[in-house]
Structure 1
Amino acid sequence: MSARRPELSRRGFLTGSLLVAAGTVLTTACSTDPTAGSSSGAKTTLNVWYHAYGEAGTQQAVLRYATAFTKANPDIAVKVTWVPGDYASKLNATLLTDSAPDVFEIGDFSESLARRGQIAALDDVYGSARSDFNTNAVDTVTVDGKLYGVKMIDDVMMLYYRKSTLSKAGITPPTTFDELVSAAKALTTDKTKGLFVGNDGLGDSPSLAAFSNGSDLVTPDGKVAFGSAQALEALTGLKRLHDDKSLLLGFTTDWWDPAAFTQGVVPMQWGGLWSMPAVVSALGDDFGVLPWPAFKAGAAPVVRVGGWTSCVNAKGANVAAAKKFVQWLWVEQSDLQKDFAESYGFHVPPRTSVAASAQKLSAGTAKETVELAAKYGKHYPGTWDTAVSSTFNAAAAKITAGQGDPSALLADAVKKAQSEIDKQLGR
């Protein structure tokens, strides 16, 4: 699952820590307190944090990986801490304390963690395998020439559509923004809405709109770019979806879960590749996938690529052991990397050799999605932290709701976001 889903309080069946040592699960704790448990004689105990993945079997998988690691490295115990709820907030708060985890995953990579000295450089962890990681996986974790994380999975986000519903309505799958607006309006009835992008009516759509009209969000040198004329035009265009009342709002789960789509509440939904097994189970082959359409002629459609990255706490007491764990799992164990990508929802392995062997992603709609990501994929810049993205999205919410002058709202957001980025970069 990707990082920008509501950080992620989904269907967690266990909430706490499990301690693994010498290849055996030893103890359980009823909280996420990383100090609980016994290391059963191991010289070092690593605390490893994961957000509460919603896909069934994921928690058991990471415990199984930890068991295999401790069997190979009996001097290092691993406490797997499964964190439900607002993972990002809990992680950021804990990183400021002595209870900070040794190893933790983060969603869309934030280079501010590296600039604050909170995560360790991992160039030595990659070794000769560096060239086997795709360009995006390397670029997104690079800060001032050093690598500060190892990408675990690439998450692809795109539009799902119900083939039979669109066909019955005489609607061709939309390839332009105008066509998307028209289709969403035509497919809206007294009982259903035409499109679901998120419970707030926004989801990723503001950034998708900017990208789809040729605008960046932030330049590589840290200059805010979403104040461009192209971004303003596209954000203003999003208002049409709201004015038409064709967006599903306030569903029981958010866009990261396919339930609104699979239950027939909407015929089109922004979602993730991770949901495809559930979509296939519910709908068979009665669905297709599309990129977010180009805003107008001359621009390009968009597929968002996010994912999760494993990082090491630079201020922890067990940096060497933590690096060993990350290297063992996310660099050396290609079979486990493939299992993690294919067996608990669908994700794209960041290593090209592993991706090439991922059979479940090599055919049908899954293959089509991977190809769309390769052609149209966009990822958030490393400076796109909560403060920056929240400022942008707040302006987009007001623009789409008609609450003020769009140009003035966006200009104010640019000013605030630039201030936040300058703080990140120490300028």
Structure 2
Amino acid sequence: MSTRRTELSRRGFLTGSLLVTAGTVLAAGCGTDPMGGSSTGAKTTLDVWYHAYGEAGTQQAVLRYATAFTKANPDTAVKVTWVPGDYAGKLNATLLTDAAPDVFEIGDFSEAMVRRGQIAALDDVYGTARSDFNTTAVDSVTVDGKLCGVKMIDDVIMLYYRKSALSKAGITPPTTFDGLAAAAKALTTDKNKGLFVGNDGIGDSASNAVWSNGGDLVSPDGTVAFGSARALEAVTALKRLHDDRSLLLGFTTDWWDPAAFTQGVVPMQWCGLWAMPVVQAALGDDFGVLPWPAFKAGGTPVVRVGGWTCCVNAKSAKAAAAKRFVQWLWVEQAGLQRDFAESYGFHVPPRTSVAASARTLSAGAAKEAVSLAGKYGKHNPGTWDLAVSSAFNASAAKIAGGQGDPAALLADAVKKAQNEIDKQLGR
């Protein structure tokens, strides 16, 4: 359930909203009172937004959860709004209006939204359960010491590789960037490329490169860090993959979909744990998972940990009811949290007690992916919004394509990114 898949709703059965009240799903918009109640007797109607997940059954699941909530809380109706297309753009625009949702999810957490007064603090929602959330889930939503969201799922993103393809070529799963580049080149043929990281040839590879060489993207104090010598060395090395013509570019779907891998177009692909059921169905046990390798011996392998976070609109007049909904679903209902993480693609529950009982994550490649995330997991900093990440990735793309001096390109990106972060932090 990557944040980059919000533009698709491949299997969604509707767009728009459904009203759930007293344990019943009504027709779209039916019975809704513009003042916030409903004709069915509920005193409060919450508007809850989800992006259009691609995994089959997800939309039906969130409606079931809303139905269960309204059955337990009949005074509160839930209007489930399923948002296709550019979810982030639509959310950001709507949050500036009176039509803003009361509860909404976001991908990589945004400190800027908190500082703009759009996301409420939820420390009281956690209660004693706070210690049951993994460290990354807590740290990633903490702004100025306050918890400003509840992580719904952790998405683990790593390298998939085809065991038989590497074995046939006499290639050992790579543990360094040199090894990855050599493997990608060796596995490239007249008909197929060796590696898929994204249709733009960059994907997460630039940030992975920085982390894998001991660098960082942004320091805790909001200082851009990807201009370091280590970062420059690792990002510049990505040019090798492009020079070798070993990257798949412009496929019919992007890196978040495993089709290029399962259809045999590439033997190695950067993709998420959410895709593993599809990979297993297509390839059986003829695949393995790896972290993005260390840049060089002694470096640090990388597994990206993303996911989705549930937030409450700080300006909502129904904040108390909104917090109760978030608390009920994402703090109290272990069974529903497990269902959401395991039944619609594979994801890691942020609560350690729930994750420990996740059956699908307890064996095989899924267990290995979770273990790798625990060892090498990295999440984007809270200041890593679209403007900041775009500046960095644009420079990385030019560097990889040999379109200028790498040091100058990265330095320019640092200036642009720092300016954007300074705006976020009000300095």
Do they superpose with TM above 0.5?
Answer: yes
Question: Residue 210 of structure 1: CA displacement?
Answer: 0.5
Question: Residue 2 of structure 1: CA displacement?
Answer: 2.1
Check the 8 A contact 1:8/1:53 in 2, yes or no. no
**Superposition map of 1:82-231 within 5 A:** 82-231=82-231
**Superposition map of 1:20-419 within 5 A:** 20-28=20-28, 40-419=40-419
Provide closer, same or farther for how the CA distance between residues 118 and 39 of structure 1 changes in structure 2, counting only shifts above 3 A.
farther
For 2:155 and 2:7, how far apart are their aligned partners in 1? Answer: 15
Check the 8 A contact 1:51/1:84 in 2, yes or no. yes
For 1:65 and 1:10, how far apart are their aligned partners in 2? Answer: 20
For 2:364 and 2:191, how far apart are their aligned partners in 1? Answer: 32
For 2:195 and 2:5, how far apart are their aligned partners in 1? Answer: 19
Check the 8 A contact 1:19/1:39 in 2, yes or no. no
Q: For 1:140-197, what per-residue CA distance to the aligned partner results, in whole angstroms no more than 9, with x for missing partners?
A: 0000000000000000000000001111111111111001101111111111110000
* 8-17 or 219-228: bigger deviation: 8-17
Question: Residue 66 of structure 1: CA displacement?
Answer: 0.2
Letter in 2 for 1:401: G
Q: For 1:380-410, what per-residue CA distance to the aligned partner results, in whole angstroms no more than 9, with x for missing partners?
A: 0000011100100111011011111000000
For 2:69 and 2:232, how far apart are their aligned partners in 1? Answer: 50
Question: Residue 39 of structure 1: CA displacement?
Answer: 5.2
Gaps of 5+ in 2: none
Letter in 2 for 1:117: G
* TM-score calculated relative to the size of structure 2: 0.97
For 2:400 and 2:173, how far apart are their aligned partners in 1? Answer: 24
Provide closer, same or farther for how the CA distance between residues 39 and 298 of structure 1 changes in structure 2, counting only shifts above 3 A.
farther
Check the 8 A contact 1:312/1:322 in 2, yes or no. yes
Question: Residue 317 of structure 1: CA displacement?
Answer: 1.7
For 2:213 and 2:20, how far apart are their aligned partners in 1? Answer: 49
Partner SS for 1:307: strand
For 2:25 and 2:314, how far apart are their aligned partners in 1? Answer: 27
Letter in 2 for 1:357: S
Q: For 1:192-220, what per-residue CA distance to the aligned partner results, in whole angstroms no more than 9, with x for missing partners?
A: 11000001111111100100011000000
For 2:257 and 2:36, how far apart are their aligned partners in 1? Answer: 33
Check the 8 A contact 1:19/1:37 in 2, yes or no. no
Partner SS for 2:47: strand
For 1:401 and 1:93, how far apart are their aligned partners in 2? Answer: 34
Letter in 2 for 1:319: A
Q: For 1:19-46, what per-residue CA distance to the aligned partner results, in whole angstroms no more than 9, with x for missing partners?
A: 100000011259xxx9999552211110
Partner SS for 1:174: coil
Check the 8 A contact 1:391/1:416 in 2, yes or no. yes
Provide closer, same or farther for how the CA distance between residues 385 and 35 of structure 1 changes in structure 2, counting only shifts above 3 A.
farther
Question: Residue 14 of structure 1: CA displacement?
Answer: 1.6
Partner SS for 2:28: strand
Identity, % of aligned positions: 83
Gaps of 5+ in 1: none
Check the 8 A contact 2:37/2:45 in 1, yes or no. no
Check the 8 A contact 2:36/2:46 in 1, yes or no. no
Q: For 1:80-118, what per-residue CA distance to the aligned partner results, in whole angstroms no more than 9, with x for missing partners?
A: 111111111111111111111100000010111111111
Check the 8 A contact 1:19/1:38 in 2, yes or no. no
* TM-score calculated relative to the size of structure 1: 0.97
Runs of 4+ residues over 3 Å off in structure 1: 34-39
For 1:280 and 1:6, how far apart are their aligned partners in 2? Answer: 21
Q: Pairwise CA RMSD of aligned residues?
A: 1.4
Provide closer, same or farther for how the CA distance between residues 28 and 183 of structure 1 changes in structure 2, counting only shifts above 3 A.
same
For 1:68 and 1:207, how far apart are their aligned partners in 2? Answer: 40
Check the 8 A contact 2:6/2:53 in 1, yes or no. no
For 2:306 and 2:319, how far apart are their aligned partners in 1? Answer: 26
For 1:402 and 1:214, how far apart are their aligned partners in 2? Answer: 24
Provide closer, same or farther for how the CA distance between residues 56 and 418 of structure 1 changes in structure 2, counting only shifts above 3 A.
same
Partner SS for 1:199: coil
For 2:87 and 2:112, how far apart are their aligned partners in 1? Answer: 17
Provide closer, same or farther for how the CA distance between residues 36 and 323 of structure 1 changes in structure 2, counting only shifts above 3 A.
closer
Letter in 2 for 1:82: W
For 2:420 and 2:133, how far apart are their aligned partners in 1? Answer: 31
Provide closer, same or farther for how the CA distance between residues 189 and 19 of structure 1 changes in structure 2, counting only shifts above 3 A.
same
For 2:92 and 2:396, how far apart are their aligned partners in 1? Answer: 26
Partner SS for 1:360: helix
Partner SS for 1:80: strand
Letter in 2 for 1:9: L
* 8-17 or 211-220: bigger deviation: 8-17
Check the 8 A contact 2:291/2:301 in 1, yes or no. yes
Aligned residues: 423
Check the 8 A contact 1:58/1:344 in 2, yes or no. yes
Provide closer, same or farther for how the CA distance between residues 281 and 37 of structure 1 changes in structure 2, counting only shifts above 3 A.
farther
Aligned to 2:6: 7
